[in-house]
């Protein structure tokens, strides 16, 4: 968690913001290590974590059955939507899901 700038979990959704860009290989390793530490803590396999990587410079695709990359200009999390402003600052706005 040393590279984490922000990390939080709300119910069954979590978010992680890193201090630097991570390679896909590093993210796969991080998710695996995180999953193993949770499994050990809860003494079982009851929770299964997945990851979505926001990268506006990439296309959206699945890296594995647990990790996908999101190549959109925005990234939704709970009722928020993250986006980069024209002056390269991270911003948020309200996000309403299609079924709401």
pLDDT tens string 25-80: 988 998 999 899 999 999 999 888 888 888 878 889 998 899 998 888 888 888 88
Q: The pTM is what?
A: 0.72
With cut-offs at 50, 70 and 90, classify the pLDDT of residue 1: low
**Tens digit of pLDDT for each residue in 83-93?**
888 898 888 88
Report the pLDDT value the prediction gives residue 32, as an integer from 0 to 100. Answer: 93
Contacts of 47 (CB under 8 A, 6+ apart): 38, 39
> Residue 37 phi/psi, 5° resolution?
-70, -35
């Amino acid at each position: 968690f040393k590279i984490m700038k922000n990390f939080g979990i709300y119910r069954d959704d979590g978010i992680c913001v890193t201090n630097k860009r991570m390679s896909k290989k590093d993210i796969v390793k991080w998710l695996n290590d995180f999953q193993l530490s949770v499994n050990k803590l809860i003494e079982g396999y009851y929770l299964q974590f997945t990851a979505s990587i926001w990268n506006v410079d990439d296309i959206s695709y699945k890296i594995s059955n647990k990790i996908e990359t999101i190549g959109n200009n925005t990234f939704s999390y709970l009722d928020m939507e993250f986006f980069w402003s024209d002056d390269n600052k991270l911003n948020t706005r309200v996000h309403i899901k299609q079924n709401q």
